[in-house]
Structures are given as structure tokens and as C-alpha cells.
A = this chain, B = another copy of it.
Amino acid sequence: MQKNDNIYPAGLYSFQDECLKLLTGVLNVSKAATYLVDSQRKPICYKTWQLQPAMHRQYMDTFYKLDPLHPTQFVEQADISVVKMNDLVNTQERYDHPYYRDFVSPWGVQDIVELFLRVDNQLIAGFALFTSKQQPEMRMEDIRKANQLHQFMQFSLEQSLAAPKHSQFQVFCDQYQLTPKERMVVELVSQGLPNKSIASGLDCSLATVKTHLQHIFTKTGVNSKTEIASLLYNLH
């Protein structure tokens, strides 16, 4: 577990931002979301675009369990990278199933396309693109574009992970032997986020974040988040 994780998914904060901008800028979607997949295969670090906070909360609280596009469904299928919901689930099912009846449909969503990014066959990030009932149905052409974008994002991801900035982050984390979750905390700290945001980013409690921070502080020998950010960018 540690082995697979000491590179991913930490260090991808701005990568997510840029990808989301790209997708929503090029494709005709009404809402979008992105997340990273942690070592326990749990989606964390959600970032959304024009997606109602209440809808996201509903998903996180309840409906993620029923999601046919949930990343856990695709961790093993390394060949699947772009999935269209309405292709995966037939029309009848979409009428019967509570996921569509009680969640997808009420929020005015017509279809969802999910993009997965992998490194070494391991799923590490995902993107959900929503079209609304007011929009025209998604066509082959749109899916082709999505595949095109996916391909470039996959390329860009590998570049990002090889960049000096990223390796600097790795050097720091390796130097102090931080655990995967601790690395994620450091990543979010380095973005200047308050603990509350870090907690919601990692989908855990404030208490857990504080515990992680305490461990990071002891390992690195500092005593504030600002100092962490400073250390990170002033490696000796």
C-alpha cells in the first residue's frame, strides 16, 4: 500500500484545476466534478464546477453507493477510461433504479460521462461531466472529443509527475517518511487551506486532520502549517 502510494495522488492540486478548466471549457457540459483516488480507493479532494453544493452533499452522503460510474467499479478495468452512463445502463433500469429516480433525474441531469486517469495501471483521478436535460443528447462526436482530451490529460499527468516541482514535493515527503495520508495533508497545507477545508477535502473529520498535522509536525520538527509551506519551498 505504502509502495503504490508514495507518489500518488499527492501533488496534483493544480493539475486537477487545470483539467477541470479544460474539460468544461471545451466540452458542452452543465456541471462537472473531479476527484483523486486514494490508497483505499476512496475518492477524495473533490473539486466541482457549477455543481450545486447540495447535490454534491447528497451524493457524498448517500448516492455514491449506487453510482454505476463510481471509481471503485473501474479500478480493475485498466482499459476503460471514458464511460458514458447512458451507454452503461439501459433505459429501463434508469427509470426503476433509485439512483436515477431520486438523484440524477431530480437534479436535471440527462447523462454523465466519467473520465479516469491512471498511472501504472492504477486509477488515481477521475472526472465527471454532466449534461442537463435542457441540452442536446451527447453524440459520438462529443465522446470522441472527450477521448481526445482524456489522452492529453493522461500525457500531461505523466509530465506533471516527472516535473521538478513534483519531485521536490516527493523529496520532502520521502525525507521525513510521511505516510500517504500525511502527504495528502501536506499537499493541501501547501495550498494554504485551513484545517476545515483540508478535512472536507480528505473527507474526514477535523480531529483526524489535526492528528495528521501533529504527526507531520513531529516528523519534520516544526510547529505550524506556515512553516511546513516554507520548508516545502525552501528545501536545503
The residue that A224 contacts in the complex, of B194, B222, B227, B232, with Cβ under 8 A, is B194
Kindly state the separation between the CA atoms of A191 and B230 in the bound complex, as whole angstroms. 5
Residues of B within 8 A of A193 (CB): 226-227
Interface size class of A (residues with CB under 8 A): 10 to 19
Does more than half of chain A's interface fall in helix, strand or loop, or is it mixed? helix
> How many Å lie between the Cα of A133 and that of B234 in the bound state?
39
Nearest-Cβ distance from residue A184 to partner chain B, whole angstroms: 16
Docked complex Cα distance between A128 and B143 (Å): 69
Q: Are B230 and A192 in contact (CB under 8 A)?
A: yes
Please indicate which of the listed interface residues A191, A225, A226, A234 has the most CB atoms of chain B within 10 Å of its own CB.
A226
Report the separation of the CA atoms of residues A222 and B170 in the bound assembly, to the nearest whole angstrom.
Answer: 27
* A155 proximal to B (CB < 8 A): no
- Cβ–Cβ < 8 Å partners of A228 in chain B: 192
A194: B residues at CB distance < 8 A: 224, 226
In the bound assembly, the distance between CA atoms of A224 and B225 in angstroms comes to: 10
Indicate how many identical chains form the complex.
Answer: 2
CA distance A227 to B230 in the complex (A): 11
Tell whether A189 is near chain B: CB-to-CB under 8 Å: yes
Extra A-B contacts (12), CB below 8 Å, given A191-B234, A192-B230, A193-B227: A14-B234, A189-B226, A191-B230, A192-B222, A192-B224, A192-B226, A192-B229, A225-B226, A226-B226, A226-B229, A229-B229, A232-B233
Most B CB within 10 A of own CB, among A190, A230, A231, A234: A230
- A236 (CB) vs chain B CBs: closest residue: B14
A225 (CB) vs chain B CBs: closest residue = B226
Interfacial chain B residues near A231, Cβ < 8 Å: 192
CA distance A92 to B21 in the complex (A): 75
